[in-house]
Amino acid sequence: MTAQVRSTAEPADRARSEALAREIFASIANRWALLIINTLGEDTLRFTEVRAAVEGISHKMLTQTLRSLERDGVVTRLVHPVVPPRVDYSLTEAGLVLRATINEMCTWTHRYLEHIVEARHRFDTLQR
């Protein structure tokens, strides 16, 4: 991806694009965001359903993470004009593709788990 950007973009555009990518990756690559993305999946869930499914998350952290994912275009938020208020969350097309990418990373981890464990053991042994 970076190679394509470098060949067609001006240096200022490239720097802006790379800075934005780092910002988005930092936002998405946190514990809560990954769990929320996985929880939503193909479903549309209410705030309370997401909170119940994501064990250990506080109300405040769920609100902040959902807002961040909404800002980045990963999650949509639909407010229904009813009393009491009802808010539904779902993944956007970009969010669904991101979820598939995350699932591929999990598949990679499972595939190379023993390799990773052995490499860590060798590294840790040499560091002593």
Closest CA to 27 of 56, 65, 59: 65
With 70 as the cut, is the pLDDT of residue 53 above it? yes
Phi, psi (rounded to 5 degrees) for 44: -110, 120
pLDDT of the residue at 35 = 94
pLDDT, one tens digit per residue, over 17-38 is 898 888 888 888 888 999 999 9
Amino acid 70 reads E
Over its C-alpha atoms, the chain yields an Rg (Å, rounded) of 19
Task: Write down the pTM of the prediction.
Answer: 0.77
pLDDT tens digits along 61-76: 999 999 999 999 999 9
| 92 alpha carbon, distance to own chain's centre | 12
Structural domain containing residue 10: 2-127
User: Domain containing 58 — which CATH number?
Assistant: 1.10.10.10
Please state the domain count of the chain. Answer: 1
The reported pLDDT for the residue numbered 9 is: 65
Q: What is the spatial distance between Cα 16 and Cα 36, in angstroms, rounded to a whole number?
A: 28
